[in-house]
Amino acid sequence: MHYFLKNIVFLATLVLSAATAYAEKPLLRISCDENDTNVKIMINGVYKGDCPIDISVDPGNVMLHAQQPVSAEMERVFIQKFFISDGVYRRIDVVLSAPQLTVAAYKARQAEADKKEQKAAQQELQAAQNGDMQAMLRISKRYQDGKGLSKDPAQAELWQKKYQEAHEATELKSLMQRAEAGNSAAMFDLAKRYENGNGVPQDTEKSQAWQQKAQAAETQKRLKEKQEAEARRRAKVEERLKSYSMTPNMDKLTKSQSGKSDPFDALSSTVASPMALVSDMLSSPSHSAERSKIADELTPHAAAWAEPDSLMAKVHTKRQLITAETK
Amino acid sequence: MPVLRTVRCLILLLVLPGWGTLPAVVSAATDPIPPVQASLCHHAASPLLLTKLNSAGITVPCLTDGVAALPSSTAELVTKLTATSEPELLPDTDFKKTTAIISVTSNHRQVFAEALAGFLTDPHFHCNRPVLDRYFRLRFQAPPANDICPPLIPFRVAQRYSLPQQLWINPARVSEVRILFGGKGQKMASKFGHLALHIVVCPEDSQDPQACDSNLFEHLVVGFMAHIDEFELSTFKALWGDYHAYLFAFRFMDIYQDYAINEFREIYSLPIHLSPEERTRVLRELSEIHWAFQGEYRFFSKNCASLLQQALWTLLPAFKTDKYVSKKFIRPDRLFNAFKRSGLTNGSALAPKQAAEKKGYYFSSTKPFYAKAFSVVHGAMAKPPFSNLDEYLLMTPPARRAAWADDKAYLNKLLNEPYLLEAQQLLEELALVRSERRFHAEGSRYLQRLDVIKRKQDILKQLDTEQAALFNDCILMPVSLFTRPVQRFPAIPSEATNHEEDNQRVLSCRTPERQKRVTELLKKLGTTARKPWERLINSSEIVEITLENVRLLKDIRPVVQASDNKGPQP
């Protein structure tokens, strides 16, 4: 009802204005949702009253700012910028935002954050000055970005450099520790550093000493690896030594076979028996290939072992070389 | 049986499937063969042949390029030649002797007509029937052929662990053809030794004589042997010539393993004096015999020695007139002695034995080598559970392993003394060779008991469709490859033979899945031959465990070598 009356008054004013041709200033009718109460209306930063409201404004750029306090720090706002000319009438429906920090609250909080950041920066600065390498990196970044500390490219570069120096010193220390502990790769690196004066004073004697130590350590390392590999292989062999046991009846069957005359004993040598075909049926090609390889290795073996001057011995040696090369 | 034993060396058994990878002597069977030049029109070049053909009313016109024109059909020419009464166009004694070693002889007149027709019309006759070509040229005074034959000569070589392989030999890589004598064995059956030819093949990259001699893995041995087309030898068939003889080809190293290792026999390799041209000719003519010949094998009259002598008479006429080898021999050892005395060979290469062994003209029996290894092993064990080599070999492989692995002091010696370790390794290797031989024998017994061919229908009734197909493809077919006669060819084949198709069929059975099913099938069939099956499986296990023993000793070896402890030397 109140709203309705206001409209009546506004219309009457317009009629009166037109009739008298008296006022040419632009008019604004600012309305809000009927549920939004206590909405302050400011035009160009000047409070004009609560919404809804009809306002006569000066022509030109207008900044409309509607604000509804929610709490001490929160508010809902509506901002609109527009241009308005003489004699124009404009209606604006205010749609408030979701609650948000008031400018004052925002600033207060920002100030508080800045304070914290500055405090952290001071702590980090202290840590960096005490040699904390990660703190040095962070301080350099703070000076670069101006976060917690005033922006200062020179200081940023200075702390970057300090970090590099500290890092190198640490690396060198670690390298020396590893070298002293017997790490051959570290020894080689250290020898190189002494040779080139990289991070340490150039020192040929020290370089050579570390080089020799490194070589000795490397030999030791390889020997150890070899021994370990051999130990593993030996363990495997020992495991395989135990893996087969006598199958039932094997002894009995073997003896019964050996006692019987073999029909193919009556035949000669040179070729096999038809059983090769069953062997063929039961063996995989890879198994046959392995058997063939072993046969090729064992055939000249006895002659090579007992008669090292024989041609068969040469054949055996050649075969072994070929096998070693293919491995 | 005593009769058999006296001639044991002469009988050999061919196994078609089942035998190892052969290093390619020259090339695989599928390699392309370069085209050959057409041969000359022989009868035009031979006035004698032209006259005889004319007088018999047979015309085979020559074309302008010197190639014989084909008659309306070769059959027609063969008919005319068979019907002719012209004496010069009929087989003579030399022809009969020649064909006795290069073909499946039955009707000499028919064979002669067919061969002459081939000589007259086949432009490649000189290359693929070289023995007959030489005979006709000599008889009809035709000039030597000047066409170029394919550079590679095929042989089908038996393998130890896989199917036979067709290899193409380049004669330029053959440095010598030798007479190989497998010496007398301990048993009565090998008393007179065995004779064959040894083809010395050079490495691909060297013609140096020493390199050729030591290239033993590529050397071949070709020899006449009986083809036993069943699972057990029939004495009567052997005596009456019911087994066929063929010229088979093997890897030299397989022969060495069988003779020098398995049977503890010596091997002699006696070089024949041949010019390079003669070597090429002999190799090509051997190939013709290898592919075409099928004869009777009789223990006392047509054996490895007599057939080889006949072949050498045909291939190298000087052997027919030589005072030592022109006489007929039946015993291989006596024929070999005659060869040694003959000036046609380099008999001095065999003496002294030590020098001959160094050069590859003589290969000792390995018996003393293994005996020495046994002595080293036996001497190093505190309480050896065996007293001689035979006892060691008769132990089961787990028991043998226990002997050298459970005795910690001995195992430690093995790990530290390479010489001892190698001796131990040699003994296990010998056990492996013996166990494989045993496995083959047990397999033969099993197949004999199963009698797959005779019982085929009964067996098929027990199987479902899938099992029957498996039985046919993976058992019956490989068995038939063994039992059927060896396939003969009318001439040296110029490309891979259909043996390869058989090989492919057998190979198709060798997927793990099919092999598993074949084993199950054999086991099922084995219920009708339970004992042989049990023994077969047992002997198979013995091979496997012995193989693992060999592997183990090989794997111990690097540990020893790494220790740099050489151990005591002999």
Q: Is the pLDDT higher at B407 or at B202?
A: B202
Residues of chain B neighbouring A263 (CB-CB closer than 8 A): 232-233, 441, 444-445, 448
**Concatenated DSSP letters for B381-407?**
-SS-S-SSHHHHHHS-HHHHHHHHHT-
A327 pLDDT tier (thresholds 50, 70, 90): low
Q: Do B232 and A278 touch (CB under 8 A)?
A: no
* 8-state DSSP, B217: G
Q: Do A315 and B430 touch (CB under 8 A)?
A: no
CA dist., res. A270 & res. B224, Å (int): 12
**Nearest chain A Cα distance for residue B434, angstroms:** 11
Closest CB from B1, B214, B433 relative to A315: B214
Q: Return the pLDDT at A29.
A: 93
The most confident of A7-21, A234-248, B187-201, B550-564, by mean pLDDT: B187-201
Q: Return the pLDDT at A323.
A: 77
Per-residue exposure over B144-181, b if at least 16 CB sit within 10 Å of its own CB, e if not: ebeeebbebbbbbbbbbbbbbbbbbbbbebbbbbbbbb
Q: Return the pLDDT at B76.
A: 81
Q: Best mutation site among A253, A280, A288, A316 for testing chain B: the one with the most B CBs within 10 Å?
A: A280
CA dist., res. B37 & res. A143, Å (int): 93
CA quadruple B531, B535, B541, B545: dihedral sign = positive
Q: Do B21 and A292 touch (CB under 8 A)?
A: yes
**Nearest chain A Cα distance for residue B437, angstroms:** 8
Residues of chain A neighbouring B224 (CB-CB closer than 8 A): none
Residues of chain A neighbouring B354 (CB-CB closer than 8 A): 309
Pairing status of strand A27-32 against strand A53-56? antiparallel
Closest CB from B15, B225, B548 relative to A272: B15
Phi, psi of A75, deg, nearest 5: -155, 165
Residue A161 has pLDDT above 90, yes or no: yes
Give the start-to-end residue ranges of the domains of chain A.
Answer: 2-101
Give the mean model confidence (pLDDT) for residues B220-247: 75
CA dist., res. B269 & res. B180, Å (int): 5
Residue pair B267/B256 in contact (Cβ under 8 Å)? The answer is yes
Q: Is the pLDDT higher at A255 or at B261?
A: B261
Q: Do B217 and A319 touch (CB under 8 A)?
A: yes
**Concatenated DSSP letters for B537-548?**
HHHHHHHHHHHH
Burial of A127 (0-12, 13-18, 19+ CB in 10 A): middle
Give residue-wise pLDDT tens across range A256-266.
Answer: 554 444 433 43
Burial of B21 (0-12, 13-18, 19+ CB in 10 A): middle
Residues of chain A neighbouring B305 (CB-CB closer than 8 A): none
Residue A15 has pLDDT above 70, yes or no: no
**Nearest chain A Cα distance for residue B30, angstroms:** 20
Residues of chain A neighbouring B20 (CB-CB closer than 8 A): 288-289, 291-292, 295-296
Q: Do A250 and B439 touch (CB under 8 A)?
A: no
Q: Do B426 and A280 touch (CB under 8 A)?
A: no
Assess B10–A contact: CB distance below 8 Å, yes or no.
yes
Cα–Cα distances (Å) from B291 to A4, B104, B154, B461, in that order, read: 124, 11, 9, 39
B291 pLDDT tier (thresholds 50, 70, 90): very high
- Closest Cα to residue B258, out of A308, A264, A311, A261? A264
Q: Return the pLDDT at B316.
A: 95
Give the mean model confidence (pLDDT) for residues B325-352: 94
B479 pLDDT tier (thresholds 50, 70, 90): confident
Residue pair A34/A40 in contact (Cβ under 8 Å)? The answer is no
Residue type, B361: Y
Residue A313 has pLDDT above 60, yes or no: yes
CA dist., res. A65 & res. A67, Å (int): 6
Alpha helices in B322-476 (DSSP H): 332-341, 353-359, 367-380, 389-394, 397-405, 408-416, 418-450, 456-461, 465-471
CA dist., res. B127 & res. B39, Å (int): 9
Structure tokens at A126: 């202290």
Give residue-wise pLDDT tens across range B360-399.
Answer: 999 999 999 999 999 999 999 999 999 999 999 988 888 8
Q: Return the pLDDT at B453.
A: 63
Residue pair B40/B119 in contact (Cβ under 8 Å)? The answer is no
CA dist., res. B544 & res. B532, Å (int): 18
CA dist., res. B446 & res. B465, Å (int): 24
B43 pLDDT tier (thresholds 50, 70, 90): low
Q: Which element (helix H / strand E) includes B85?
A: none
Give residue-wise pLDDT tens across range A170-210.
Answer: 999 999 999 999 899 999 999 999 999 988 999 999 999 99
Q: Best mutation site among B11, B15, B376 for testing chain A: the one with the most A CBs within 10 Å?
A: B15
Give the mean model confidence (pLDDT) for residues B102-113: 83
CB atoms within 10 A of CB A210: 24
For helices B418-450 and B367-380, angle between their N-to-C axes, nearest 10 degrees? 120
Q: Return the pLDDT at B296.
A: 84
C-alpha triplet B357, B359, B365: angle, nearest 5°: 20
Percent of chain B with pLDDT over 90: 39
Q: Do A250 and B217 touch (CB under 8 A)?
A: no
**Nearest chain B Cα distance for residue A128, angstroms:** 55
B186 pLDDT tier (thresholds 50, 70, 90): low
Q: Best mutation site among B161, B406, B503, B538 for testing chain A: the one with the most A CBs within 10 Å?
A: B161
Assess B286–A contact: CB distance below 8 Å, yes or no.
no
Residues of chain B neighbouring A288 (CB-CB closer than 8 A): 20-21, 161-162
Residue A276 has pLDDT above 90, yes or no: no
- SS3 annotation, chain A: CHHHHHHHHHHHHHHHHHHHCCCCCCEEEEEECCCCCCCEEEECCEEEEECCEEEECCCEEEEEEEEEECCCCEEEEEEEEEEECCCCEEEEEECCCCCEECHHHHHHHHHHHHHHHHHHHHHHHHHHHCCCHHHHHHHHHHHHHCCCCCCCHHHHHHHHHHHHHHHHHHHHHHHHHHHHCCCHHHHHHHHHHHHHCCCCCCCHHHHHHHHHHHHHHHHHHHHHHHHHHHHHHHHHHHHHHHHCCCCCCHHHHHHHHHHCCCHHHCCCCCCCCCHHHHHHHHCCHHHHHHHHHHHHHHCCHHHHHHCCCCHHHHHHHHHHHHHHHHC
* 8-state DSSP, B212: H
Closest CB from B518, B547, B559 relative to A281: B518
Residues of chain A neighbouring B536 (CB-CB closer than 8 A): 278
Residues of chain A neighbouring B13 (CB-CB closer than 8 A): 264, 267, 271-274
Assess B420–A contact: CB distance below 8 Å, yes or no.
no
Give the mean model confidence (pLDDT) for residues B500-524: 74
Residue A254 has pLDDT above 80, yes or no: no
Quote the longest CA-to-CA distance of chain B.
Answer: 92
B3 pLDDT tier (thresholds 50, 70, 90): very low
Cα–Cα distances (Å) from B432 to A264, B41, B53, B428, B540, in that order, read: 17, 58, 63, 6, 11
Q: Do A291 and B20 touch (CB under 8 A)?
A: yes
**CA distance from start to end of chain B:** 44
- Closest Cα to residue B194, out of B15, B6, B333, B341? B333
Residues of chain B neighbouring A228 (CB-CB closer than 8 A): none
CA dist., res. B161 & res. A280, Å (int): 7
Q: Do B233 and A251 touch (CB under 8 A)?
A: no
Closest CB from A273, A282, A307 relative to B515: A282
B308 pLDDT tier (thresholds 50, 70, 90): very high
Per-residue exposure over A60-85, b if at least 16 CB sit within 10 Å of its own CB, e if not: eebebbbbbeeeeeebbbbeeeeebe
Give the mean model confidence (pLDDT) for residues B276-295: 94
Q: Return the pLDDT at A160.
A: 94
Q: Do A311 and B360 touch (CB under 8 A)?
A: yes
Q: Do A314 and B214 touch (CB under 8 A)?
A: yes
Which one is the CATH code of A2-101: 2.60.40, 3.30.530, 3.40.50, 3.40.630? 2.60.40
Q: Return the pLDDT at B66.
A: 56
Mean pLDDT, rounded, of chain A: 82
Q: Do A303 and B515 touch (CB under 8 A)?
A: no
Residue B12 has pLDDT above 60, yes or no: no
Residues of chain B neighbouring A233 (CB-CB closer than 8 A): 555, 558-559
Phi, psi of B99, deg, nearest 5: -70, -20
Mean pLDDT, rounded, of chain B: 81
- SS3 annotation, B97-133: HHHHHHCCCCCHHHHHHHHHHHHHHCCCHHHHCHHHH
Residues of chain A neighbouring B233 (CB-CB closer than 8 A): 263, 266-267
**Nearest chain B Cα distance for residue A216, angstroms:** 19
Give chain B's length: 570
SS3 B197: strand
B232 pLDDT tier (thresholds 50, 70, 90): low
Chain A: residue nearest B404 by CA? Answer: A241
Q: Return the pLDDT at B487.
A: 82
**Nearest chain B Cα distance for residue A213, angstroms:** 24
Closest CB from A233, A274, A289 relative to B444: A274
Q: Return the pLDDT at B180.
A: 97
Phi, psi of A265, deg, nearest 5: -70, -30
- Closest Cα to residue B263, out of B374, B370, B185? B185
Residue B122 has pLDDT above 90, yes or no: no
Residues of chain A neighbouring B366 (CB-CB closer than 8 A): 302-303, 306
Structure tokens at B269: 């390799």
SS3 B153: strand
Closest CB from B216, B372, B401 relative to A244: B401
Closest CB from A244, A280, A318 relative to B478: A280
Chain B: residue nearest A246 by CA? Answer: B398
Q: Return the pLDDT at B38.
A: 38
Give the start-to-end residue ranges of the domains of chain B.
Answer: 2-24+153-363, 42-139, 369-558
Q: Which element (helix H / strand E) includes B324?
A: none
SS3 B195: strand
Q: Is the pLDDT higher at B133 or at B473?
A: B133
Q: Return the pLDDT at A256.
A: 57
Task: Name, in order, each residue with C-beta under 8 angstroms of B211's C-beta and a sequence gap of 6 or more.
Answer: B202, B203
Give chain A's length: 327
Residue A247 has pLDDT above 90, yes or no: no
Q: Return the pLDDT at B419.
A: 93
Give residue-wise pLDDT tens across range A199-236.
Answer: 899 999 999 999 999 998 888 888 888 778 877 877 77
Give the mean model confidence (pLDDT) for residues A20-24: 52
Residue B511 has pLDDT above 70, yes or no: yes
* 8-state DSSP, B150: P
Assess B519–A contact: CB distance below 8 Å, yes or no.
yes
* 8-state DSSP, B328: -
Q: Return the pLDDT at B144.
A: 82
**Nearest chain A Cα distance for residue B207, angstroms:** 16
CA dist., res. B443 & res. B445, Å (int): 5
The most confident of B117-121, B253-257, B491-495, by mean pLDDT: B253-257
Give the mean model confidence (pLDDT) for residues B333-358: 95
Closest CB from B14, B185, B253 relative to A296: B253
* 8-state DSSP, B168: E
Residue pair B9/B192 in contact (Cβ under 8 Å)? The answer is yes
Closest CB from B258, B368, B446 relative to A270: B258
Give residue-wise pLDDT tens across range A130-152.
Answer: 999 999 999 999 999 999 999 99
Pairing status of strand B174-182 against strand B194-201? antiparallel
CA dist., res. B10 & res. B358, Å (int): 28
Burial of A17 (0-12, 13-18, 19+ CB in 10 A): middle
Question: Is the bond preceding B317 in cis, omega lying within 30 degrees of 0?
Answer: no
